[in-house]
Protein backbone atom coordinates (compact mmCIF):
# COMPACT_ATOMS: atom_id res chain seq x y z
CA UNK A 1 0.00 0.00 0.00
CA UNK A 2 1.26 3.49 -0.86
CA UNK A 3 2.07 5.64 2.12
CA UNK A 4 0.24 9.03 2.16
CA UNK A 5 2.87 11.73 2.27
CA UNK A 6 2.32 15.31 3.38
CA UNK A 7 3.06 16.97 0.06
CA UNK A 8 1.38 20.00 -1.49
CA UNK A 9 -0.83 19.49 -4.51
CA UNK A 10 -2.91 22.68 -4.62
CA UNK A 11 -1.99 26.33 -4.02
CA UNK A 12 -3.88 26.38 -0.73
CA UNK A 13 -2.31 23.16 0.54
CA UNK A 14 1.16 24.68 0.54
CA UNK A 15 0.80 27.24 3.34
CA UNK A 16 0.22 24.78 6.22
CA UNK A 17 3.35 22.89 5.20
CA UNK A 18 5.45 26.05 5.11
CA UNK A 19 4.10 27.20 8.47
CA UNK A 20 4.80 23.82 9.98
CA UNK A 21 8.39 23.88 8.64
CA UNK A 22 8.94 27.18 10.47
CA UNK A 23 7.06 26.27 13.64
CA UNK A 24 10.10 25.34 15.71
CA UNK A 25 11.81 28.74 15.36
CA UNK A 26 13.09 29.31 18.91
CA UNK A 27 12.75 33.11 18.82
CA UNK A 28 9.03 33.64 19.47
CA UNK A 29 8.84 37.05 17.83
CA UNK A 30 10.65 35.86 14.69
CA UNK A 31 8.32 32.84 14.61
CA UNK A 32 5.24 35.08 14.81
CA UNK A 33 6.45 37.64 12.26
CA UNK A 34 7.54 35.07 9.69
CA UNK A 35 4.33 33.04 10.05
CA UNK A 36 2.20 36.16 9.59
CA UNK A 37 4.27 37.51 6.70
CA UNK A 38 4.24 34.14 4.93
CA UNK A 39 0.47 33.82 5.40
CA UNK A 40 -0.13 37.29 3.93
CA UNK A 41 2.23 36.68 1.02
CA UNK A 42 0.62 33.34 0.13
CA UNK A 43 -2.81 34.95 0.27
CA UNK A 44 -1.57 37.84 -1.89
CA UNK A 45 -0.24 35.45 -4.55
CA UNK A 46 -3.47 33.45 -4.56
CA UNK A 47 -5.84 36.47 -4.50
CA UNK A 48 -4.02 38.13 -7.37
CA UNK A 49 -3.24 34.97 -9.34
CA UNK A 50 0.34 36.21 -9.62
CA UNK A 51 1.93 35.03 -12.86
CA UNK A 52 5.45 33.68 -13.29
CA UNK A 53 6.43 36.82 -15.20
CA UNK A 54 5.08 39.04 -12.41
CA UNK A 55 6.97 37.03 -9.82
CA UNK A 56 10.15 37.42 -11.83
CA UNK A 57 9.55 41.18 -12.09
CA UNK A 58 9.02 41.45 -8.32
CA UNK A 59 12.24 39.56 -7.64
CA UNK A 60 14.08 41.83 -10.08
CA UNK A 61 12.70 44.91 -8.27
CA UNK A 62 14.10 43.63 -4.95
CA UNK A 63 17.47 42.92 -6.57
CA UNK A 64 17.44 46.39 -8.15
CA UNK A 65 16.67 48.30 -4.95
CA UNK A 66 19.44 46.39 -3.16
CA UNK A 67 21.94 47.11 -5.90
CA UNK A 68 20.91 50.79 -6.12
CA UNK A 69 21.66 51.22 -2.41
CA UNK A 70 25.08 52.64 -1.67
CA UNK A 71 26.99 55.38 0.10
CA UNK A 72 24.82 58.18 -1.32
CA UNK A 73 21.31 56.80 -1.17
CA UNK A 74 19.25 54.03 0.35
CA UNK A 75 16.79 52.79 -2.26
CA UNK A 76 15.46 50.03 0.04
CA UNK A 77 14.31 52.56 2.62
CA UNK A 78 12.95 54.73 -0.19
CA UNK A 79 10.83 51.80 -1.38
CA UNK A 80 9.44 51.35 2.15
CA UNK A 81 8.78 55.11 2.32
CA UNK A 82 6.89 55.19 -0.97
CA UNK A 83 4.65 52.32 0.16
CA UNK A 84 3.79 54.23 3.36
CA UNK A 85 5.44 51.53 5.48
CA UNK A 86 8.00 53.82 7.15
CA UNK A 87 5.29 56.29 8.16
CA UNK A 88 3.06 53.44 9.33
CA UNK A 89 5.80 52.09 11.63
CA UNK A 90 6.45 55.62 12.97
CA UNK A 91 2.74 56.23 13.70
CA UNK A 92 2.22 52.80 15.23
CA UNK A 93 5.17 53.10 17.59
CA UNK A 94 4.75 56.73 18.59
CA UNK A 95 1.14 57.35 19.56
CA UNK A 96 0.73 61.02 20.36
CA UNK A 97 -1.56 62.46 22.99
CA UNK A 98 -3.05 65.94 23.09
CA UNK A 99 -0.40 67.33 25.42
CA UNK A 100 2.40 66.30 23.06
CA UNK A 101 0.77 67.56 19.87
CA UNK A 102 4.07 69.09 18.79
CA UNK A 103 5.85 65.81 19.02
CA UNK A 104 4.41 63.45 16.50
CA UNK A 105 7.11 61.23 15.08
CA UNK A 106 7.80 61.03 11.36
CA UNK A 107 9.84 58.78 9.14
CA UNK A 108 13.63 59.09 9.27
CA UNK A 109 14.14 59.23 5.50
CA UNK A 110 17.32 58.15 3.76
CA UNK A 111 19.50 61.22 4.38
CA UNK A 112 20.25 61.34 8.12
CA UNK A 113 23.95 61.10 8.93
CA UNK A 114 25.29 60.29 12.37
CA UNK A 115 27.84 62.64 13.94
CA UNK A 116 26.67 65.95 12.51
CA UNK A 117 28.85 68.75 13.93
CA UNK A 118 28.10 69.86 17.49
CA UNK A 119 27.20 73.57 17.20
CA UNK A 120 27.04 76.41 19.71
CA UNK A 121 23.62 77.90 20.37
CA UNK A 122 22.62 80.31 17.59
CA UNK A 123 25.07 78.86 15.03
CA UNK A 124 24.21 78.87 11.36
CA UNK A 125 23.78 75.44 9.75
CA UNK A 126 24.89 76.86 6.42
CA UNK A 127 28.61 76.20 6.04
CA UNK A 128 28.77 78.22 2.86
CA UNK A 129 26.92 81.21 1.39
CA UNK A 130 23.47 79.93 0.47
CA UNK A 131 20.99 81.78 -1.71
CA UNK A 132 17.53 81.68 -0.22
CA UNK A 133 15.70 83.29 2.65
CA UNK A 134 17.50 83.23 6.00
CA UNK A 135 15.65 81.44 8.75
CA UNK A 136 15.75 81.39 12.56
CA UNK A 137 14.50 78.37 14.45
CA UNK A 138 13.91 78.15 18.18
CA UNK A 139 12.02 75.94 20.57
CA UNK A 140 12.14 74.00 23.80
CA UNK A 141 12.43 70.36 24.67
CA UNK A 142 10.27 68.91 27.45
CA UNK A 143 10.42 65.58 29.26
CA UNK A 144 7.63 63.12 29.97
CA UNK A 145 6.83 64.98 33.20
CA UNK A 146 6.27 68.21 31.25
CA UNK A 147 9.40 69.85 32.64
CA UNK A 148 12.02 71.48 30.38
CA UNK A 149 14.91 69.17 29.56
CA UNK A 150 18.37 70.70 29.76
CA UNK A 151 21.16 68.88 27.92
CA UNK A 152 18.93 67.32 25.27
CA UNK A 153 20.50 67.03 21.82
CA UNK A 154 18.57 68.51 18.89
CA UNK A 155 20.03 67.06 15.70
CA UNK A 156 18.83 68.92 12.58
CA UNK A 157 19.27 68.21 8.88
CA UNK A 158 17.66 69.74 5.82
CA UNK A 159 17.88 70.24 2.08
CA UNK A 160 19.25 73.49 0.68
CA UNK A 161 17.09 76.03 -1.21
CA UNK A 162 17.71 74.05 -4.41
CA UNK A 163 16.17 71.01 -2.72
CA UNK A 164 19.36 68.95 -2.34
CA UNK A 165 20.93 67.40 0.76
CA UNK A 166 24.64 68.02 1.12
CA UNK A 167 25.53 64.43 0.33
CA UNK A 168 23.59 64.52 -2.94
CA UNK A 169 25.33 67.64 -4.16
CA UNK A 170 29.07 67.90 -4.89
CA UNK A 171 28.77 71.73 -4.74
CA UNK A 172 27.92 71.74 -1.00
CA UNK A 173 30.56 71.35 1.73
CA UNK A 174 30.57 68.22 3.88
CA UNK A 175 27.88 68.38 6.60
CA UNK A 176 26.32 71.54 5.14
CA UNK A 177 22.88 72.21 6.69
CA UNK A 178 23.39 69.65 9.43
CA UNK A 179 24.11 70.30 13.09
CA UNK A 180 23.53 69.21 16.68
CA UNK A 181 22.54 71.64 19.43
CA UNK A 182 22.41 71.05 23.18
CA UNK A 183 19.44 72.56 25.01
CA UNK A 184 20.10 75.14 27.73
CA UNK A 185 18.84 75.13 31.33
CA UNK A 186 15.30 76.04 30.11
CA UNK A 187 15.29 73.24 27.54
CA UNK A 188 15.72 75.88 24.85
CA UNK A 189 17.53 75.73 21.52
CA UNK A 190 18.10 78.25 18.78
CA UNK A 191 19.81 78.11 15.39
CA UNK A 192 20.05 79.95 12.12
CA UNK A 193 19.74 78.40 8.72
CA UNK A 194 18.21 78.98 5.31
CA UNK A 195 14.55 78.30 4.51
CA UNK A 196 14.37 74.76 3.09
CA UNK A 197 12.83 74.04 -0.29
CA UNK A 198 10.69 71.09 -1.29
CA UNK A 199 12.47 68.51 -3.41
CA UNK A 200 11.86 65.33 -5.35
CA UNK A 201 12.75 62.04 -3.71
CA UNK A 202 15.51 60.36 -5.75
CA UNK A 203 13.94 59.18 -9.01
CA UNK A 204 17.00 57.84 -10.84
CA UNK A 205 16.55 54.25 -9.62
CA UNK A 206 13.92 51.52 -9.53
CA UNK A 207 11.72 53.51 -7.12
CA UNK A 208 11.58 56.37 -9.63
CA UNK A 209 10.43 53.89 -12.26
CA UNK A 210 7.73 52.66 -9.92
CA UNK A 211 6.52 56.21 -9.22
CA UNK A 212 6.35 56.95 -12.94
CA UNK A 213 4.44 53.72 -13.62
CA UNK A 214 1.96 54.75 -10.91
CA UNK A 215 1.69 58.33 -12.27
CA UNK A 216 2.81 59.72 -8.89
CA UNK A 217 4.83 62.91 -8.53
CA UNK A 218 8.04 62.70 -6.46
CA UNK A 219 7.91 66.08 -4.63
CA UNK A 220 8.19 66.21 -0.87
CA UNK A 221 6.89 69.40 0.74
CA UNK A 222 9.62 71.61 2.27
CA UNK A 223 10.64 70.52 5.76
CA UNK A 224 13.30 70.37 8.44
CA UNK A 225 14.28 67.05 10.01
CA UNK A 226 14.82 66.75 13.78
CA UNK A 227 16.13 63.95 15.97
CA UNK A 228 15.82 64.87 19.64
CA UNK A 229 17.48 62.76 22.31
CA UNK A 230 18.32 62.70 26.00
CA UNK A 231 19.33 59.67 28.09
CA UNK A 232 16.27 58.14 29.77
CA UNK A 233 14.00 59.20 26.88
CA UNK A 234 12.91 57.61 23.65
CA UNK A 235 14.64 59.25 20.68
CA UNK A 236 12.13 61.47 18.84
CA UNK A 237 12.60 61.43 15.06
CA UNK A 238 10.39 63.93 13.31
CA UNK A 239 10.00 66.57 10.61
CA UNK A 240 8.39 70.02 10.56
CA UNK A 241 6.75 71.21 7.33
CA UNK A 242 6.00 74.66 5.94
CA UNK A 243 2.23 75.27 5.81
CA UNK A 244 2.06 76.84 2.37
CA UNK A 245 3.68 74.07 0.34
CA UNK A 246 1.61 72.90 -2.62
CA UNK A 247 2.58 69.28 -2.00
CA UNK A 248 1.56 69.19 1.66
CA UNK A 249 -1.36 66.88 0.93
CA UNK A 250 0.40 64.68 -1.58
CA UNK A 251 3.75 63.88 0.05
CA UNK A 252 4.95 60.77 -1.84
CA UNK A 253 6.16 59.23 1.45
CA UNK A 254 3.05 60.23 3.49
CA UNK A 255 5.12 61.95 6.19
CA UNK A 256 2.87 64.95 6.84
CA UNK A 257 0.46 64.90 9.75
CA UNK A 258 -1.48 67.94 11.00
CA UNK A 259 0.77 68.31 14.05
CA UNK A 260 3.89 68.42 11.89
CA UNK A 261 2.82 71.51 9.96
CA UNK A 262 4.99 74.17 11.60
CA UNK A 263 4.11 77.70 12.58
CA UNK A 264 6.40 79.40 10.07
CA UNK A 265 6.36 83.18 10.19
CA UNK A 266 7.43 85.12 7.11
CA UNK A 267 8.72 88.46 8.22
CA UNK A 268 11.46 91.01 7.46
CA UNK A 269 14.61 92.25 9.17
CA UNK A 270 16.44 95.34 7.92
CA UNK A 271 14.20 95.26 4.84
CA UNK A 272 15.20 91.66 4.01
CA UNK A 273 12.92 88.63 4.15
CA UNK A 274 13.32 86.35 7.16
CA UNK A 275 11.53 83.12 8.05
CA UNK A 276 11.00 82.26 11.71
CA UNK A 277 9.89 78.99 13.24
CA UNK A 278 9.19 78.19 16.85
CA UNK A 279 8.61 74.52 17.60
CA UNK A 280 8.68 72.56 20.86
CA UNK A 281 9.40 68.87 21.34
CA UNK A 282 8.06 66.56 24.04
CA UNK A 283 10.01 63.38 24.73
CA UNK A 284 8.58 60.18 26.21
CA UNK A 285 10.35 58.22 28.91
CA UNK A 286 12.18 55.23 27.47
CA UNK A 287 15.44 53.87 26.25
CA UNK A 288 17.63 56.15 24.13
CA UNK A 289 18.23 54.02 21.02
CA UNK A 290 19.47 55.65 17.82
CA UNK A 291 18.64 54.30 14.38
CA UNK A 292 21.33 52.91 12.14
CA UNK A 293 22.24 55.64 9.64
CA UNK A 294 20.65 54.78 6.26
CA UNK A 295 23.83 56.17 4.64
CA UNK A 296 27.31 56.45 6.18
C1 LIG B 1 13.62 62.98 3.33
O2 LIG B 1 12.80 63.66 3.86
O3 LIG B 1 14.79 63.26 3.47
C4 LIG B 1 13.17 61.82 2.51
C5 LIG B 1 12.24 60.96 3.03
C6 LIG B 1 11.82 59.89 2.26
C7 LIG B 1 12.33 59.69 0.99
C8 LIG B 1 13.26 60.58 0.47
C9 LIG B 1 13.69 61.66 1.24
FE1 LIG C 1 13.99 65.43 3.92
User: pLDDT digits over 258-285, tens only?
Assistant: 889 998 999 999 999 999 999 999 999 8
111 lines ligand 1 (CB under 6 A): yes
Cβ atoms of 256 and 221 within 8 Å: the answer is yes
First to last CA, the chain: 63
CA-wise closest residue to 240 among 36, 73, 104, 53: 104
Please compute the mean of the pLDDT values over residues 149-172 and round it to a whole number.
92
Query: pLDDT-based confidence at 99, cuts 50/70/90?
Result: very low
Cβ atoms of 267 and 274 within 8 Å: the answer is yes
Please compute the mean of the pLDDT values over residues 161-172 and round it to a whole number.
88
pTM: 0.88
Please compute the mean of the pLDDT values over residues 145-157 and round it to a whole number.
96
Query: pLDDT-based confidence at 97, cuts 50/70/90?
Result: low
| CB neighbour burial string for 51-70, b if at least 16 within 10 angstroms, e if fewer | eeeeeeeeeeeeebbeebbe
78 lines ligand 1 (CB under 6 A): yes
Distance (Å) of CA 288 to CA 145, 237, 264, 285, 296: 17, 12, 29, 9, 20
Query: H-helix or E-strand containing 200?
Result: strand 199-200
* Percentage of the chain lying above the pLDDT 90 cut: 76
How confident is the prediction for the chain on average, in pLDDT?
92
* Res. 250: pLDDT tops 80: yes
**11/21 Cα distance (integer angstroms):** 17
* C-alpha 270 to ligand 1 mean position (Å): 34
* Res. 151: pLDDT tops 80: yes
**195/160 Cα distance (integer angstroms):** 8
Maximum alpha-carbon separation in the chain: 97
* C-alpha 137 to ligand 1 mean position (Å): 21
Residue whose CA is at the smallest distance from ligand 1 atom 5: 109
DSSP string, 231-246: TTBPPEEEEEE-TT-T
Q: CB within 8 A of 84, min separation 6: which ones?
A: 253, 254
Please compute the mean of the pLDDT values over residues 88-98 and round it to a whole number.
78
* Res. 98: pLDDT tops 70: no
Range list of β-strands (E), 105-177: 134-142, 153-158
Amino acid sequence: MRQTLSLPDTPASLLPLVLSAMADTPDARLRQLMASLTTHLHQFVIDNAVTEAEFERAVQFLIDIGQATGPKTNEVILAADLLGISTLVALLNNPSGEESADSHAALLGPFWRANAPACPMGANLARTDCDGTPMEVCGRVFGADGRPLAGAIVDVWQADPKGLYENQDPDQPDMNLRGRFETDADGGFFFRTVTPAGYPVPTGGPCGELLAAQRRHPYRPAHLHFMVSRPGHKVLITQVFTAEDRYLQSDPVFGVTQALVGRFEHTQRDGRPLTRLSHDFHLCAGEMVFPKPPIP
